[in-house]
Structure 1
Amino acid sequence: MATIKVKFRASSVEMKEGSLYYQVIHNRLARQVHTGYKLFPSEWDAGISEIVMDSGTEGGRRNYLLSVKTALADDLSRFRSIIARLERSDVMYTADKVVELFSSPADCGGFVSFARQLIKELKQIGKRRTAETYTTVLNSFLRFRGERDLLFGEVDSNLMVEYETFLKGCDVCPNSSSFYMRNLRAIYNRAVERELTVQRYPFRHVYTGVDKTVKRAVPLKVIRQIRDLDLTLSPMLDYAKDLFLFSFYTRGMSFVDMAYLKKKDLQNGVLAYRRQKTGQQLFIRWEKPMQEIIDKYDTSGTPYLLPIIRDMKEDARKQYKSEAHRENQSLKKIGKLLGLAIPLTSYVARHSWASIAKSKNIPIATISEAMGHDSENTTRIYLASLDTTVVDKANSLILKSL
């Protein structure tokens, strides 16, 4: 196994600082890596290969020496991690290879470096949604950690508990915190699969489950209020209202599916499309209110049915995401205009359609097929969290009978 040592080379000029360097030895071959750090001979103990400070060292010099000690410890840990990885690979390697991996900025010896490389690979093979998710998660982790990379050995249970505490301090809800943890775990597990590190189960003491959340739905009367709003003096809000209603009219179609609808998908009075999330194909009979919304907007320069993706020269997914954000911002303003108790978002249209269908005693199987769920069980779980008013009324009756 290769060994790594820190060495000090004194200056040939008396009273001048000397240089620190790393010595990598493997199979009796030695290689050197300069650290860039300078020390006076009195500040280095060759016997223990450590920086020493006497009682007279103070102020800026003391801070400098402390920072060098920290940097040396980090570099040595990185060297050891690289050597351990090479040993696990069961492939012959040299001291030059150790130096190459240490010196390469593209080296995946660090967790952050590996995550960035993985994101790049995912984009190259077309898995953009996963790449975007990992980017979001990594950015959150870097807000906690800072920009400095860390070794896989530093990704331990204590660090993840600290990160979870950081998220709680930022008022991140448990489900969002779990989302970050699950995806960080996925990145870490990929590194384990590639034998870049051993499995240390750093996520075993943080929450990675999914809490049951109350879905947001509004009753039919609110849908009517939204439909009847006169927003002609506010084109952006009027546009947001139309997209919301289109989603409701099309059995709660998700915004991403609406964005990618094409004119060719509408034929002989039937709208046929595949869900972006599951790939399931759905068929919707074309109704008059759907056509009225389509007729309001000019999409002659695009193949799309709705004016969400407008510029054929720009990235379509980037436009969709931007429009989705703008849509929800506008819908929240509409919700405030109506005095709604819940934030109005594009998801509310989908949840409301399911809730209203349930209130109309439409069979579960029909609702499941209409929404493109993969099973009736999924629909039951979905509907179970949509509306608790029936249970609330039952509880109220019991309390009143006391």
Structure 2
Amino acid sequence: MNITFHFELNSYVRKDGTKNVMLRITQNKKLKRESTGISVLERDWNPEKEEVRRTDKQAAQKNSVLKAKKLEFEQAYMKTTIAGRISTPHELLKKVKKQILGDSFFNFAYAHIAELDSAASRAGQTSVIKKLKDYLKQEDLRFGEIDHVFLNRYRQHLVKLGNGANTIQSNFSKLRGIYNEAVESGQFQPESGNPFDMIRLKKQRSSRVKLSKEEIEILYKHEVREGINAFHAKNIFLFSFYMQGVRFADVIQITWAQISNDRFFYVARKTGKGRSILLHKRAAEILDYYRIPGQKPTDYVFPLLKGKTPDRYTQDEWFKITSRLNSIVTKNLKKIATNAGLKPFSMHVARHSFAEIARQESRDVYAVSEALDHSSVSVTENYFAAAERAENDAFAKLVYGTDEEK
């Protein structure tokens, strides 16, 4: 089965007026085309000799590259023929791509993601990889294809999609982490440095939505019909706020075993750190509403997960369940905001609001406001974990005031 290799111009005209030179691989009327990375003006291309004319100032260099690429494919084909294997154009293209450009970035990425401990991290990185695959129209991506030009074009694509600077920075950070892991593990060795080092992305300080003490008071006094989703959403939000910004996933999984006398005990699922927090009067009022005779210590305080337990699901399935509930709660909070005359806010705003009010009341900018920011959340957890119980109780009273003031 003879196979032929020929160069031809792509029909697509680039913005600079040039066309890409394609290598056409044909066997039994089956063909595949692969870009050589070389582009020329049509007038500078000799279709009979399949080479760049001398009228192109870089003709010698471009023709050398074309000859080298053709030779690589011919040699790869000869090796498979000698070994008694038959290579189709598609198989040959994959083989040469792997030899020249390394293994599949996507295959490595999915294997890397599967090893991550956190379901949230797996979901976040999977989303980033899916976005990149969509950009490439589900085509594979070799490590060697990731260069400064590729990354810059992808960055421009994300801008056109409407992604903000922080979203783009986050996407590139995750991609870079996977790329670096491949390099460190010996899976791939770049010839001319790390291409991510040549991409400069600045993270902008975002203006987070926060509710003031006055707005929290409006929300607290706003009446919502008992028993409906909006009612539970309001209670979950306020409980999170009054209990120092406890994250949503931790709030909805609170069981009665975690409530003892005037304290709330829990281990943050994101950081694995234990907390013991003095119950705020209004948080205790919320708990009293949900307290009914015959409850078991293992029963959830809030009813959103009623009938569901993590042991029946995989970690990823459980994460999807809690994420979906977060969306439902946020949807209801936005309805409440409209009815109460407040700006739209999500569940996580309870954490932002606590951070800002704590900063204002305690005047400890670095330990409270900055510590509760996502970029330094570990500082926040360490700050509270290191404090003695009495010190943390005093801190809570400083932020919220005493019961008598309520």
Matched residue, 2:303: 307
Alignment pair present for 1:174 and 2:175? no
1:186 Cα shift?
Answer: 0.8
For 1:400, the equivalent position in structure 2 comes to: none
- Residue 211 of structure 2 is aligned with which of 218, 236, 242? 218
Q: Partner amino acid for 1:80?
A: Q
Q: 1:34 — aligned with what?
A: 87
- Partner of residue 286 from structure 1, selected from 279, 282, 289: 279
| Distance in 2 (alpha carbons) for counterparts of 1:282 and 1:270 | 10
- Give the secondary structure class of the aligned counterpart of 1:210: coil
Retained in 2: the 8 A contact 1:354–1:367? yes
Taking a change above 3 Å as real, the CA distance of residues 223 and 76 of structure 1, as seen in their structure-2 partners, is same
Shift of 1:368: 7.6
| In structure 2, C-alpha distance between the alignment counterparts of 1:252 and 1:17, rounded to whole Å | 66
CA distance in 2, matches of 1:182, 1:230: 44
User: Who is 2:323 aligned against?
Assistant: 321
Residue ranges of structure 1 left out of the alignment (5+ in a row): 1-5, 10-15, 38-70, 86-108, 380-402
Separation of aligned partners in 2, 1:297 and 1:335: 23
The aligned residue for residue 139 of structure 2 is: 148
- Counterpart check, 1:77 vs 2:96: yes
**2:77 counterpart residue number:** 23
CA offsets per residue over residues 323-364 of structure 1, 9 Å max, x none?
Answer: 1111122222222223334x3112221222232233334656
Q: CA deviation at 1:369?
A: 12
Cα 1:251–1:186 shift into 2, 3 Å: same
Paired AA for residue 96 in structure 2: S
Report SS of the residue matched to 2:300: coil
Contact 2:155 2:168 in 1 (8 A): yes
* Residue 298 to residue 170, structure 1, CA distance change in 2 (3 Å): farther
**How far apart are the structure 2 equivalents of 1:179 and 1:120?**
19
| TM-score for both structures, normalised by structure 2 | 0.64
Q: What amino acid is aligned across from residue 79 of structure 2 in structure 1? A: I
Amino acid at match of 2:160: G
Deviation at 1:370, TM superposition (A): 11
Report deviation, 1:17. Answer: 4.7
Alignment correspondent of 2:391: none
Q: CA deviation at 1:185?
A: 0.7
Q: 1:81 to 1:294 in 2, by over 3 A?
A: farther
C-alpha contact (below 8 Å) 2:222/2:340 kept by paired residues: no
* Superposed displacement of residue 226, structure 1: 0.9
Which residue pairs with 1:185 in the alignment?
A: 176
SS at match of 2:188: coil
Residue matched to 2:10: none
Percent sequence identity is 25
Offset from partner CA, 1:295-336 (integer Å, 9 cap, x none): 444895854333343312344322211111111222222222
> What is the TM-score of this pair, normalised by structure 1?
0.65
In 2, the alpha carbon distance for the partners of 1:18 and 1:181 equals 41
Q: Does 1:195 align with 2:248?
A: no
Matched residue count: 304
- Counterparts of 1:204 and 1:324, CA distance in 2: 36
**Equivalent of 2:340 in 335, 338, 341:** 338
The yes-or-no answer on 1:115 pairing with 2:105 is: no
Per-residue Cα deviation, 1:213-267 (whole angstroms, up to 9, x for no partner): 2232221111111111122078122221111111111112121221333322222
Letter of the structure 1 residue corresponding to residue 182 of structure 2: A
Counterpart in 1 of 2:350? 349
Which amino acid is 1:264 matched to? A
2:303 partner SS = coil
Return 113-122 or 362-371, whichever deviates more.
362-371
Does the 8 Å contact 1:7/1:23 carry over to 2?
Answer: no
CA distance in 2, matches of 1:149, 1:256: 35
